[in-house]
Amino acid sequence: MRRLLLALLPVLFAAPVFAACPQPKTMAFVVEKKVHRDAVGFTEGLEVHDGSLWESTGDLFGTTRINRIDIKTGKVRTVVNAGKRYFGEGLTFLGGKLYQMTWQEHRVFVFDAQMKPLPELSNPREGWGLTHDATHLIASDGSSQIFFLSPADFTTLSALDVHDGDQPVPRLNELEYAGGAIWANVFETWTVVKISPATGCVEARVNLAPLQARMTGSERAAIARDDNFVPNGIAHDPATGLFTVTGKNWPMLFSGRFVED
């Protein structure tokens, strides 16, 4: 019996085996329009709502704000300016409400359709990216997990482990739910991943580095001034099918489509 128990020990205490995901497809971002914004923002969240781009900024280079950006002209109008009282992160609209997370303060601000503040919620983790499907808020915290949350009280309903093949994908940042998939910036890279919300598998990878060829010399110099000015921000417009992408303190936005190479 002792021999049998010893033989079983490696099996009993072995790490769980993760079924490897299929090899992700390679996609490209094809630009259809470039828009110059009239004021930069340290972009932490980006979403299309009511015909405009809505942006949440952090206060590392400026202040924490909620901006409304005209998609056609790039004109930026600040709706909420919180100064440096907290560090703004992801934002999203669901059920007629706007939700804005903070980074390390565990606060979630909620506004109604007229941008009147509603009771504040609490986030047990760091706040990074925020989006939604038909019924849930969906958040990232900089790890390789994505969390499905109740819009009523921000409680965690489930968590999704994100893998590329058999490897976890850490540093998931800004999120966008579109076409039944979750799109995510990978922090401090030029990579966007398309994630299955059912399996957590990375279905496709996109390299945004070719966007640099669409920038002027002064624009490239502007985003090269600081290592913090990384790609961040994905917004999908269901009316046109276009995605808009940008980066932290980028003076421009790019609208286009993700297509298979």
Q: What is the pLDDT of residues 96-154, one digit of tens each?
A: 999 999 999 999 999 999 999 999 999 999 999 999 999 999 999 999 999 999 999 99
DSSP conformational letter for 73: T
pLDDT at 134: 97
Question: How many Å apart are CA 81 and CA 64, to the nearest integer?
Answer: 6
Predicted confidence (pLDDT) at residue 18 exceeds the cutoff of 70: no
| Sequence ranges of the domains in the chain | 26-260
pLDDT at 20: 86
Q: E strand or H helix at 245, and its extent?
A: strand 243-247
Q: What is the pLDDT of residues 192-232, one digit of tens each?
A: 999 999 999 999 999 999 999 999 999 999 999 999 999 99
Average pLDDT in the chain: 94
CATH tag, 26-260 = 2.120.10.30
pLDDT bin (cut points 50, 70, 90) of residue 10 is: very low
pLDDT bin (cut points 50, 70, 90) of residue 8 is: very low
Category of 179 on φ-ψ map: left (φ > 0), alpha (ψ -120 to 50) or beta: left
Q: Which residues contact 148 (CB under 8 A, 6 or more apart)?
A: 136, 137, 138, 156, 157, 158, 159, 160
Question: How many Å apart are CA 45 and CA 57, to the nearest integer?
Answer: 7
For residue 108, which of 53, 54, 149 has the smallest C-alpha distance?
149
12-21, 70-79, 220-229: range with lowest mean pLDDT: 12-21
Predicted confidence (pLDDT) at residue 27 exceeds the cutoff of 60: yes
pLDDT at 94: 98
pLDDT at 261: 85
Q: Which residues contact 118 (CB under 8 A, 6 or more apart)?
A: 97, 110, 111, 112
Category of 240 on φ-ψ map: left (φ > 0), alpha (ψ -120 to 50) or beta: alpha
Write the single-letter amino acid at 189.
T
Alpha helices in the chain (DSSP H): 2-12, 217-224
Beta bridge partners of 143: none
Distances (CA, A) of 186 to 99, 118, 153, 171: 22, 31, 27, 6
Count CB-CB contacts under 10 A for residue 179: 13
Q: How would DSSP label each residue in 56-118?
A: EE-STTS-EEEEEE-TTT--EEEEEEEETSS-EEEEEEETTEEEEEESSS-EEEEE-TT--EE
Write the single-letter amino acid at 127.
G
pLDDT at 165: 96
